[in-house]
Amino acid sequence: MPKEKVLVADDEQSMREFLDIMLRKEDYRVTSASNGEEVIRLMEKEIFDLILMDIRMPRMDGITVLKKVKALSPETIVIMITAYASADTAIKAMKEGAYDYITKPFKVEEIKLIIKNALEKKNLQKENILLKQVVKDRYHFGNIIGQSPKMLALYDLLEKVAGTKTIILITGESGTGKELVAKAIHYNSSRKDKPFVTLNCGAIPESLIESELFGHVKGAFTDAIATKKGLFEVADEGTIFLDEISELPLLMQVKLLRVLQDREFKRVGGTEDIKVDVRIISATNKDLEEAVREKRFREDLFYRLNVIQIKLPPLRERREDIPLLSNHFLKKYSEELNKNISAISPDALRILLNYEYPGNVRELQNIVERAVALETSQELSAENLSSYLDEQLPSKKKYSDLEIPNEGIDLERMVEELERALILKALDKSKGIKKKAAELLHINFRSMRYRLEKYGLGDGLNNEIDSQSYPDPMHP
């Protein structure tokens, strides 16, 4: 297919013919004009990607034509050509929006390269604009799907806070879309063209998290073979999203507090104070106020992070959004998996509406994706949903026969006893390896260590303990 459209404008027929032949060999679509008025007439009918134009032409001089071209199509690249080099004329042409200024006689390879570079730059700018539009479309508030009263209230709050510099804490159960909301806030703020940087505080080893956040200088520790920027530096003028903030170690909580107060920090092993302008959005699925009471989270840091709190509702509290979300995911995965599925059957929708969704929107998304992958008809059937959901129901049935006596129960004591018993079972199953026990309980190692200390089951300092260093599960 032909490349971009190029207009050659020169009053010399020989020059027009030469440029026409040269450009067609390069596979450009070429149109010619002999004067300025003809250029404007052509521009009023179609848009050209690039114009090669002599600065001296009859009826209308090149600078006047350049102004009119830029008024009609600001994106069109204009390269001026002249046999009469003049610094003043060149400066004037560049001020009026010319991309470059070429003097006759010119080398063929030189002008080819100038045109190639100009069009590549134009295409790159176009791609950047499209990419930004895609990002904006993906994360603007309208694409956080839901039309329930709780979601409408959420949109209203997001619109109010997006344009501010205020620190934000997003709370909600796992799978409610906390990172999606953080991105929506960023991409609807004045920082949208600056970096959005994410750190999962529970996924980085405690020994590395300071270097990850603040960077390090060469030689600061054994593996520091070069100076490295931390995420706060990378996010300068943009936004940093601290997910699972409750998992941040206490020592790092102190250092983060300093950054919030002073907007500066030192790299690991460094002496220089580095100032940054970063908006901080944090998120947690834990009760931070409870963590403060239990001395696992600093109270002063909590108040710094909790300037504006955005609470995301669990899916079970906005069931009216389930059909809307289900159809959104149906369309998404039908396209991705090349399936021709256009609807959800009434029975399937009834199943979706009645499920509890402990994993919230993320779980609904996974359920629909799985059902679409298995579906062979043009309608999502109940059978392909039941096969997954039936696996989830036994745990619900297991506790359906529980009874509460008339005198009531001590819920906290019962929960603690159950938690302690399960920790001991996990330690027994893992042969005393704490890290493995934490994996069996689907909690992180820091959380496991806290519980061991809480119930007096070990010092919580090492990854492994031998059979003599924790109580016998049979004799707690």
DSSP string of 205-237, one letter each residue:
-TTTHHHHHHEE-TTSSTT--S-EE-HHHHTTT
| pLDDT at residue 461, rounded to an integer | 40
Q: Report whether pLDDT(127) > 80.
A: no
How far, in Å, CA of 105 to CA of 112, rounded? 14
The tokens for 256 are 């983060």
User: CB neighbours (10 Å) of residue 183?
Assistant: 21
Residue 36 pLDDT class (50, 70, 90 cuts): confident
Higher pLDDT, 396 or 238: 238
The domain defined by 317-398 folds into: Helicase, Ruva Protein; domain 3 (1.10.8)
Residue 476 pLDDT class (50, 70, 90 cuts): very low
DSSP string, 267-293: -BT--S-EE---EEEEEESS-HHHHHH
In the DSSP assignment, the letter for residue 222 is: T
Q: Report whether pLDDT(90) > 90.
A: no
Q: What is the dihedral of CA 105, 111, 114, 115, to 10 degrees?
A: 130
Look at strands 100-103 and 77-82 and give their pairing.
parallel
98-104, long-range: CB < 8 A, 24+ apart:
98/66
Say if domain 5-131 classifies as CATH 3.40.50.2300. Answer: yes
Average pLDDT over residues 361-387: 88
Out of 254-263, 328-337, 388-397, least confident range: 388-397
Q: Do 5-131 and 411-476 come out as alike in CATH topology?
A: no
Q: How far apart are the first and last CA of the chain?
A: 78
Which contiguous run of DSSP H or E holds residue 128? helix 108-139
Task: Output the CA torsion sign for 276, 280, 286, 292.
Answer: positive
Out of 22-36, 132-146, 226-240, 430-444, least confident range: 132-146
| Beta-ladder partners of 309 | 169
Residue 285 pLDDT class (50, 70, 90 cuts): very high
CB 281 within 8 A of CB 239: yes
Residue 135 pLDDT class (50, 70, 90 cuts): low
Q: What's the mean pLDDT when you consider all of the chain?
A: 84
Residue 471 pLDDT class (50, 70, 90 cuts): very low
Q: Write the CATH number of the domain with boundaries 141-311.
A: 3.40.50.300
Residue 163 pLDDT class (50, 70, 90 cuts): confident
Residue 226 pLDDT class (50, 70, 90 cuts): confident
Q: Report whether pLDDT(372) > 70.
A: yes
In the DSSP assignment, the letter for residue 313 is: P
Cis peptide bond upstream of 105, omega within 30: yes
Domain ranges of the chain: 5-131, 141-311, 317-398, 411-476
The tokens for 225 are 């073979």
| pLDDT at residue 131, rounded to an integer | 64
Higher pLDDT, 471 or 35: 35
Average pLDDT over residues 228-249: 92
User: CB neighbours (10 Å) of residue 346?
Assistant: 10
Residue 472 pLDDT class (50, 70, 90 cuts): very low
Overall CATH class of domain 411-476: mainly alpha
In the DSSP assignment, the letter for residue 256 is: H
| pLDDT at residue 103, rounded to an integer | 83
Out of 113-117, 398-402, 419-423, least confident range: 398-402
| pLDDT at residue 84, rounded to an integer | 67
pLDDT tens string 8-35: 998 889 988 999 999 999 889 999 999 9
The tokens for 108 are 């063929």
Out of 114-128, 244-258, 269-283, 287-301, least confident range: 114-128
Q: Report whether pLDDT(369) > 90.
A: yes
Residue 335 pLDDT class (50, 70, 90 cuts): very high
CB 172 within 8 A of CB 178: yes
Out of 183-187, 296-300, 301-305, 416-420, least confident range: 416-420
Written as one letter, the residue type at 377 is S
| Cα maximum dimension of the chain | 105
Out of 16-20, 101-105, 190-194, least confident range: 101-105
| pLDDT at residue 466, rounded to an integer | 37
- The CA-CA-CA angle for residues 75, 78, 28, to 5°, reads 85
Q: Report whether pLDDT(330) > 70.
A: yes
Look at strands 343-344 and 239-243 and give their pairing.
unpaired
Average pLDDT over residues 63-74: 87
How far, in Å, CA of 163 to CA of 153, rounded? 17
Q: Count of alpha carbons within 13 Å of 11, Cβ hemisphere only?
A: 13
User: By three-state DSSP, how is residue 141 classified?
Assistant: helix
CB 64 within 8 A of CB 36: yes
| pLDDT at residue 257, rounded to an integer | 93
How far, in Å, CA of 209 to CA of 202, rounded? 10
| pLDDT at residue 246, rounded to an integer | 93
> Could you tell me what percent of the chain has a pLDDT over 90?
34
The tokens for 301 are 């840091």
| pLDDT at residue 390, rounded to an integer | 65
| pLDDT at residue 470, rounded to an integer | 37
| Phi then psi dihedrals of residue 4, to 5 deg | -70, 160
